[in-house]
Amino acid sequence: MRIIIIYNLVWLVMRARNLFRVFFLMVCMLSSNAARADDLAQSIVHMLDYIGVDYKKIVEEKKIVNEAEYAEQIEFSGQMIQSVAKLPNFPEKNVVQSQVGALKELVDSKDSGDKVADVASEV
């Protein structure tokens, strides 16, 4: 009888340890996801600032002044679309996705720097 009680106690302790590990891992994953979302949001803001400020110097009157910099603008505007899609759902996510998509279209079509800066600041 004693062996059965000891066995059950050991089993309960092991089960509790396993549950604690699972709980701990879940907390870590949730905090990791929140940190990842924060990092994504910050990188989106940095890309918006970069495009909003530097685009005017790179494209003038639908002509590319600096090919390498323009290629970066194209790349960053595409990365923003992907980054916004990876963010967790929030009430304005569809609006932000639409604005970032519009910004990408403006950059792709070599639209005016003022228009690009306005859309970048609205996001």
Each residue's pLDDT tens digit, 80-120: 999 999 998 889 999 999 999 999 999 999 999 999 999 99
d(C-alpha 30, C-alpha 116), whole Å: 36
CB atoms under 10 Å from CB of 77, counted, come to: 23
Confidence at residue 101, expressed as pLDDT on a 0 to 100 scale? 96
Of 21-35, 56-70, 72-86, the range with the lowest mean pLDDT is 21-35
d(CA 91, CA 55): 29
Supply the pTM of this predicted model.
0.71
**71 vs 5: CA distance, rounded Å:** 71
For residue 120 the two structure tokens come to 């970048």
Q: Compute the C-alpha angle 77/80/51, nearest 5°.
A: 45
The whole-angstrom separation of Cα 13 and Cα 4 is 14
Q: What is the CA 65 to chain-centroid distance, rounded?
A: 30
